[in-house]
Amino acid sequence: MTATTGDDNGRLGRWLRIAVWGGAGVAWLIPVAAKLLTDLPWTTFDFVAWGVMLLVAAGACEIGLRLSGSLAYRAGVVVAAGTSFLIVWSNLAVGIIGNENNPLNQIFFGVIAIAIVGAFLARFRPKGMAVAMAVTAAAQFGTGFVALAYEHIVFAIVGVFSLGWLLAAWLFREAARGERAS
């Protein structure tokens, strides 16, 4: 893997980090403003959970942005972290299958675990990350068949999540190609 080198990559990395952390800050402030202006039924726990989710996602992006100077690799990290974030958020907020108390929703956390384990097995190298994200997409797509037994719309939602993993896989593959060309 290549570290961030060169003035342009350094500047890009700084701007990407500002965008990620600034976006997380704004995302945290949205429910705060909503609570102040409306009757948002969030508890202190909800705000803490939201903040932790944003910190974990932004932290994962931060690490990924530092692992490579490749724009494709960095975008792959952001897409994978964003997909994970959306899965966790929707699962905790309302549940993907049924409601948030349905035990079948745990399979979606299993998909994220596949992505994390795959990333470590790949040692965060672009080619291995592409394979790990493709496997994660296949696992995510498989959850759609479980969901079909309950609600057909969930199959479409799972399809969107699968597309996120496939986009990350493609971006990591492009980063691997760029690494070989260098």
Confirm whether 2 is domain-assigned: no
Total domains in the chain come to 1
Looking at residue 182, its pLDDT comes to 65
Confirm whether 182 is domain-assigned: no
Token pair, residue 25, equals 């800050």
Token pair, residue 43, equals 């508890």
* CA–CA distance, 26 with 39 (Å, rounded to integer): 20
Looking at residue 8, its pLDDT comes to 55
172 and 133 Cβ atoms separated by less than 8 Å: yes
Q: 65: closest CA among 132, 124, 114, 137?
A: 124
Confirm whether 147 is domain-assigned: yes
Q: What is the pTM (predicted TM-score) of this model?
A: 0.86
Confirm whether 124 is domain-assigned: yes
Q: 98: closest CA among 53, 43, 157?
A: 157
The tens place of each residue's pLDDT in the chain, 182 residues long, gives: 444 444 456 777 788 889 999 999 999 999 999 999 998 898 999 999 999 999 999 999 999 888 988 999 999 999 999 999 999 999 998 889 888 888 999 999 999 999 999 999 999 999 999 999 999 999 999 998 888 887 788 888 999 999 999 999 999 999 999 887 76
* CA–CA distance, 180 with 160 (Å, rounded to integer): 30
Looking at residue 74, its pLDDT comes to 93
**What residue type is assigned to position 171 of the chain?**
L
Domain region containing 31: 7-177
Looking at residue 108, its pLDDT comes to 95
Looking at residue 181, its pLDDT comes to 74
Confirm whether 1 is domain-assigned: no
* CA–CA distance, 50 with 28 (Å, rounded to integer): 7
- Three-state SS string across 22-89, please? HHHHHHHHHHHHHHHHCCCCCCHHHHHHHHHHHHHHHHHHHHHHHHCCCHHHHHHHHHHHHHHHHHHH
Looking at residue 3, its pLDDT comes to 45
- In a 10 Å sphere around its CB, with 0-12 CB exposed, 13-18 middle and 19+ buried, how is residue 55 labelled? middle
Tallying the residues shown for the chain, one arrives at: 182
Confirm whether 58 is domain-assigned: yes
Backbone φ, ψ for residue 47 (5° rounding): -65, -40
